[in-house]
Each structure stands twice: as C-alpha cells, then as structure tokens.
Amino acid sequence: MQQKRKLKKIEKEKFVDTVVLLCKEANYNLPLSIVKALIRARENETDERPREVLSILIENARIAHDKKIPICQDTGVVSVFLEIGRELIIDFDIYSAVQEGVKKGYKEGCLRASIVFSPFNRTNTGDNTPAIVYTEFVNEDNIKILLIAKGAGSENQGGVFMLKPHEQEKIPDIVVDYIKDKAPYACPPIIVGIGIGGDMERSCFLSKKALTREFLNPDKEIAELENSLLSRINRLGIGPGGLSGKTTALAVRIETHPCHIGSLPMAINIGCYATRYKKAIL
Amino acid sequence: MKIPEERGLLYDLKAGDRVFLSGTIYTARDKVHKRGFPFDVKDQVIYYTGPTPTRPGEIIGSCGPTTSSRMDEWTPFLLSQGLAGMIGKGPRSKEVIEAIKLYRVVYFVAVGGAGAYYKNFVKKAEVVAYPEFGCEAVYKLEIEDFPLYVGIDSNGKSIF
C-alpha cells in the first residue's frame, strides 16, 4: 500500500505575523535595488538640481530605514499576491488572515489608513483594509507572499490600451508618449511596469507585478525592449521630482502573456521612485 | 523667508528658485477642498499633505507633498479669496497658472515621496479643524527652513 505523504501545515498565527512584518518592512525600507539605482543616477546627473533632488530621496530612504518612519506619507493601498503551494494544509481563511495582518501591521507601524468604504461613500475604514488579494496555485510545498504598498500618486497615472494586433510596432511610441504625460505626476524617477497580452485584466495584473522584478526580462528580445524604452524615457528630461534632469525612470519591466488572435492588450502601471514591496516564503 | 509675515517677498521669487520657508502653514487636501475651508485663507500658505499617524513623543509622522492637480478645481476660487501660496507636487492646470499670475501668488513644490525627510522641518503640529477626517484633517504646522522649490512664480512661469 502506498504511504500517504505528510503534508506541511501553515499556522495561521505565523501567516498573520508575516503579513504584519511585510507591511512595516515595505513601508520603512526602500528596496536595495532602488537605493543603488538612485545612487547611480546621482553620479550620472550633471546639473545641480537633479543631483540635489536625488540626494533628498537617498537621505529620505536613510532616515526612513534608521528611524522606522514611513518612506512616504502615502503608505498606499496594499495588494498581496499569494502563490499557494498545492502540497500544503491551510485550515484557516487565508483572505481574512491577510486582512488581519494588514490591520495589525498598519496600526502597529503607525502607517496611514488610506482606504475608504466605497468609491461613493468615501468614509475611511480606519485601518487600511481591505487589502486586495490575488491567489495562484502552484506545484510547491510553500506559500510565497508578495506585498505591494502603492500610493495613489503613482497608481492614478496607470492606464490600459486595447490595441489591435497590427499595432505591435507602435508599442514603444505609445509607451514613451504616455510616460511623457504621466511621469511628472508620479514622483519620478519612476519604475515602469508593462503587461502585454492576456486579456484586459491579465495585462493589468502583470503590469503591477512587473514593478517588483529586479532584473531584466530573461527573454533577450523583451530585455532589449526594456532597455531601449528606458533610454528613450530618460531622454524626455522630466528628471527627479519632475524638476528636470537625465533620470526620469529607474527601470522598465515588461511581462507578457499569450493572447487572442484579435487582441493586443497593454497595461502600463507606473511605480513612483518609492515602489514599496516585500516578499516572504512560508 | 518667514510666512505669513514676509508675504511680500513672494513676488520676487522666480520659478526654479530654492527657498527655505519658515513660519505657519496649514495642511489641506481633497476632503477639505471639497467640504470648504474652515478658516480665512487670506495671506496663508496651504500644504497639500496627509501625514502618517504621529508616534508617541513625536511631533508629526511622515509628511511629504501629495499630487496638487487634484486640487486644481478649487484653486482659482481660493486664490481669489486671498490665498498667498500653495505647497505640493507636480504640474498644475492652465486655469491655475492663469490664476497664480492674476493674483500674484506662488506655487511651491516639495519632492514627492520624501515624507520622512520633510518631517524634520516641522517643529509643531496641531489639528485645528475636521479631526474626523483623520489624515485629511487640517493641521496647523510651524515649519523651520522647510526646503522647497518655486514651481510656478507670480508671473506664471512654471518649471514643468
């Protein structure tokens, strides 16, 4: 007789505590890859003002980290991306556990409550919940948690283009024109997340997740597009803080997905310089 | 420069100038603009921000600028009432630039996303209206050498 394998059990308390920690860490600590990119950008700037603005952003990250003060007063809407392993026992409601963690994390961490009950009744819920939760099931024996805290300043500048398949070649121009309009409002130097393919909502999902990839797309052709878009965006001259300079974006990240013969959806999600996220594996 | 006392000096500022502002300012963002100002805005400077909660023993939380353009709709009216200046981030509408020129006021910009840095320049903070708005309440702030740039000067010249 085949022996039944013992499955790993995820404890609710540990899951909630992890979400609490991720809320705080994401809001106090700018990802190292961004700090490094800001320092490189400052070396690359020749004018005084962009160097000064980048120095303020670097100093801000240092203060936030050392004193555990939120990097930005807009501690954002929380979205949690869960990759749940198939070979696990989860005997609690994972959705309400996320909310419990966010509620506790934002209260303990002195993070701002920015969520209202409904788009029409704009009364603050008072604890920054509900967070938005996405779940995917994977063939693993663990849970991967990615928590993004995104401010309205940059989130409001995102958009979707339902292109026709033959408009593929226009993608770089569409992206650069779009960024030219939107970047000054989104706390540059920005990170540009682009989702291409899938359907409308899949492209949006990918564009947000793309903001957290810290390296070029493994596909060489897409990586080239990421690099060429970054160069073109940085020639726009919008600069740090939108006060002119050579650094308008720190990175462009593109994710793709198969799509319908008649469709070419593209979503652009703009991340501010303080694109805040944190990952954990349980 | 000190406000509101040195309001007159605002006229001399040029777009792009770096300014260290001291004195009294008031915070106001979306909700206060929509509901109406509970104080006389004449000669005052308002700061578009919604700070994070204050930790025990501290003066204020993280308090960087929010996107100014969301307030554009109400700004020409406030300027007509004598508002002397605004602090925020990002470009303004054509109508706001025209009103800035007409009423000879200044739009200052702070660097977006640097709330932990700007916290250091706030020496006193007190909620003076709409406490029920939470982070969107009106705070009266005493600031000292708060570092800013002139985004749009009183001649309507913009750095954006």
Q: Do the Cβ atoms of B52 and A71 come within 8 Å?
A: no
| Count of structural domains within chain A | 2
CATH of domain B2-9+16-152: 3.20.130.10
Buried b vs exposed e over A100-116: b needs ≥16 C-beta within 10 Å? bbbbbbbbebbbbbbbe
Same domain, residue pair A89 and A176: no
Overall residue count recorded for chain B in this entry: 160
Q: Do the Cβ atoms of B61 and A187 come within 8 Å?
A: no
Which residues in chain B have their CB less than 8 angstroms from residue A61's CB? 116
Q: Do the Cβ atoms of B52 and A112 come within 8 Å?
A: yes
Using CA of residue A61, residue A62, residue A65, residue A70, what is the dihedral sign?
negative
pLDDT of chain A, 282 residues: tens digit per residue: 556 678 999 999 999 999 999 999 999 999 999 999 999 999 999 999 999 999 999 999 999 999 999 999 999 999 999 999 999 999 999 999 999 999 999 999 999 999 999 999 999 999 999 999 999 999 999 999 999 999 999 999 999 999 999 999 999 999 999 999 999 999 999 999 999 999 999 999 999 999 999 999 999 999 999 999 999 999 999 999 999 999 999 999 999 999 999 999 999 999 999 999 999 999
Same domain, residue pair A75 and A90: yes
A278 vs B3: CA distance, rounded Å: 41
Q: Do the Cβ atoms of B67 and A112 come within 8 Å?
A: no
Residues 11-30 of chain B whose Cβ lies under 8 A from any Cβ of chain A: 16, 18
Same domain, residue pair A250 and A183: yes
Give A124's strand partners. A116
* Residue A40 backbone dihedrals phi, psi, to 5 degrees: -60, -40
Give A78's strand partners. A149
**Domain of residue A87, residue span:** 10-29+71-150
What are the tens digits of pLDDT across the range B101-157? 999 999 999 999 999 999 999 999 999 999 999 999 999 999 999 999 999 999 999
Same domain, residue pair A102 and A170: no
Same domain, residue pair A139 and A19: yes
Question: Which residue ranges make up each domain of chain B?
Answer: 2-9+16-152
**Residue type, position A192, single letter:** V
Same domain, residue pair A142 and A20: yes
Q: According to the model, what pLDDT value does residue A148 have?
A: 98
A167 vs A164: CA distance, rounded Å: 5
Q: According to the model, what pLDDT value does residue B74 have?
A: 97
CATH number, residue A140: 3.30.360
A126 touches chain B (CB under 8 A): yes
Burial class (CB in 10 A: 0-12, 13-18, 19+), A48: exposed
| Tokens matching residue A53 | 């603005």
